[in-house]
A and B are shown apart, each in its own frame.
Chain A
Amino acid sequence: MNNKILIGQLNNLKNIKPDNEWKSNNREILYSQIFNSGNEAKIANFKIFAFPQRIFKFISQPAMVVVFISLIVISGGFFSARAAKNIKPGGSLYIARIISEKAQLAVTFNKEAKNKLGIKFANKHAKDITEILANPEFNVDENKVKIEKLTQDFKKEISTVKDKISKIDIGEAKDNNKDNNEGNNIDSNENVDEVEVFSANLEKEESGLQIFEPRAEIKQGGDNKESAEQENVSTSTIEASQASGGVEEEFNSGNANKIIEEAEELFNSQDYSGTLDKLEKVDDAIDADGEVKGASEEESTASSSLESGD
């Protein structure tokens, strides 16, 4: 028998088939079994819906919700603050800028930093108003009402800057006083130590340790002299420091206010570019090291620039 005949005979075995009745019955059973096996097929048919469902499952976890909300808040605050930065007074979205600034002030808890930020904002508002008024196209009789309003706003902002500067100075003065008091306390503690040593010597004296008496006396005498000298020196330095501190205090508040007043005067005389320069100086002073510089520094820088021919 060759392979061809054998394969032919094997092909005849294809006629072995199950009953048609069994096939149809089994089909029905299978149909009911698979249709009762859940609705996974329907979900899988719509890939578009199945994919976001997986993402939704991931997103709906509590930790992810917190992360997303905080991200939205932070990014929203950041972008809105940045976007609002360039909105000029009188613009329709100026209110958004004011709100974002207030929000920034609300989340600044350090008093000094808050005041400095307040100065910055008020100064920026004043600068913006000055810039608008410096524009010859805007500064015409038609916009008289607007100009008047902006002028009033400028004055308000300037008074805010003055207030904030005075607050910072008061705070600094308080700090200085505190430091001085602490310094005095330390000195007095040192004196107490000396007194204690002195009394120890007295005890020794009482217990009959005569051998040290003359030396102790000499030393005491010397110490007293030294201490007296030291006291004189320290009181003089304290006085000097207090005096210098006081001068510096007056200097700071007085001259910072002086720049502002100058700016105000220039504004009143409609010298807007000069006003802007003065306001810039206030900004620079704040930005320099986070403190309001004294006018002496400002003047010195101005004089040096004059000397150099700038």
Chain B
Amino acid sequence: MVLGKIKIPSDKKSKEKKLLKKMKNKDKEAFIKAYDLYVDQIYRYIFFRVSSHDDACDLSSEVFLKTWNYILSNDLKSEKTLRALIYKIAKTSIIDFYRKKSNLSNIAIDDENNRIDIPDSRQDIKKQAEINSDFNIIENKLRELKDEYREIIILRFIDELTIGEIADIINKTKGNARVLIHRSLKALRELMDNDNNKYEQ
């Protein structure tokens, strides 16, 4: 079953629980351990949403610092898992990132200090030629997806979050989260099928 449970190792679960407990006591060492545990996932989540390695790096470090500040000023009573908390902060950071970016795009086109890169179609073809592996195909198709679906796919099938955690992050019920997972997977499959059909033709 596609939407079946993703098994999280029990030792990892207990480790996360311990970390959250320590985090409630504002334990700095525990937070560094949490960084080691989640930095790859958070980077990946951000990377698929911002499409630039540098931006993903900057945002990832910003997310961890914001999380620490949040921990200092809150008692974390309402937080179910530490991972969900970091993802929620990452999500709001991405929204802030695009908000800032949209403000910058209002700058005049002739502004020399803020030049906008217009993609070269020839360069695009060249780049496409380099993408031979499945790895790159799925990555590109993922980027073509609607932002909402892309987020769900990353959370569920790449970072392997539970349905409860996803529902918590996207601020919806578990039922709604399940429906969204189903739809986003269907949308990605259709995109992949369309692409395959094009090549076959």
Across the interface, A27 reaches (CB within 8 A) one of B35, B40, B135, B142, namely B35
Q: Please give, as numbers and ranges, the residues of chain B lying within 8 Å of A27 by CB-CB distance.
A: 32, 35-36, 39
Is A92 an interface residue when CB atoms closer than 8 A count as contact? no
Are A1 and B189 closer than 8 Å at their CB atoms?
yes
Q: Of B7-15, B53-61, B91-99, B117-125, which stretch is located at the interface? A: B53-61
Is A103 an interface residue when CB atoms closer than 8 A count as contact? no
> Which of A9, A31, A44, A45 lies at the interface centre, i.e. has the most chain B CB atoms within 10 A of its CB?
A9
Q: Please give, as numbers and ranges, the residues of chain B lying within 8 Å of A40 by CB-CB distance.
A: 26, 72
CB of A9, distance to nearest CB on chain B (Å): 5
Identify the closest chain B residue to A3 (Cβ).
B2
Q: Please give, as numbers and ranges, the residues of chain A lying within 8 Å of B26 by CB-CB distance.
A: 40-41, 44-45
Are A11 and B72 closer than 8 Å at their CB atoms?
no
Are A29 and B61 closer than 8 Å at their CB atoms?
yes
Complex Cα gap A3–B47 (Å):
24
Across the interface, B2 reaches (CB within 8 A) one of A7, A26, A41, namely A7
Are B196 and A1 closer than 8 Å at their CB atoms?
yes
Q: Which of B134-148 contact A (CB under 8 A)?
A: 134-135, 137-139, 142
Q: Which of A1-35 contact B (CB under 8 A)?
A: 1, 3-4, 6-7, 9-18, 22-23, 26-27, 29-31, 33-35
Identify the closest chain B residue to A41 (Cβ).
B26
Are A35 and B28 closer than 8 Å at their CB atoms?
yes
Are B25 and A6 closer than 8 Å at their CB atoms?
no
Secondary structure class of chain A's binding surface, majority of residues: helix
CB of A16, distance to nearest CB on chain B (Å): 5
Identify the closest chain B residue to A22 (Cβ).
B57
Q: Please give, as numbers and ranges, the residues of chain A lying within 8 Å of B192 by CB-CB distance.
A: 1, 6
Identify the closest chain A residue to B26 (Cβ).
A41
Q: Please give, as numbers and ranges, the residues of chain B lying within 8 Å of A1 by CB-CB distance.
A: 189, 192-193, 196
Is A308 an interface residue when CB atoms closer than 8 A count as contact? no
Complex Cα gap A16–B56 (Å):
12
Is B185 an interface residue when CB atoms closer than 8 A count as contact? yes
Complex Cα gap A27–B65 (Å):
11
Q: Please give, as numbers and ranges, the residues of chain A lying within 8 Å of B27 by CB-CB distance.
A: 41, 45
Is B188 an interface residue when CB atoms closer than 8 A count as contact? yes
Q: Please give, as numbers and ranges, the residues of chain A lying within 8 Å of B137 by CB-CB distance.
A: 9
Q: Which of B15-39 contact A (CB under 8 A)?
A: 25-28, 31-32, 35-36, 39
List the interface of chain B (C-beta within 8 A of A).
2, 25-28, 31-32, 35-36, 39-40, 43-44, 47-48, 53, 56-57, 60-61, 64-65, 68-69, 72, 134-135, 137-139, 142, 153, 157-158, 185, 188-189, 192-193, 196
A-B interface, 3 closest residue pairs, ranked by CB to CB distance from nearest: A41-B26, A10-B157, A3-B2
Sampled A-B contacts (13; CB under 8 Å): A1-B192, A3-B2, A6-B192, A7-B157, A12-B134, A13-B44, A13-B48, A13-B139, A13-B158, A30-B61, A33-B65, A40-B26, A45-B25
List the interface of chain A (C-beta within 8 A of B).
1, 3-4, 6-7, 9-18, 22-23, 26-27, 29-31, 33-35, 37-38, 40-41, 44-45, 47
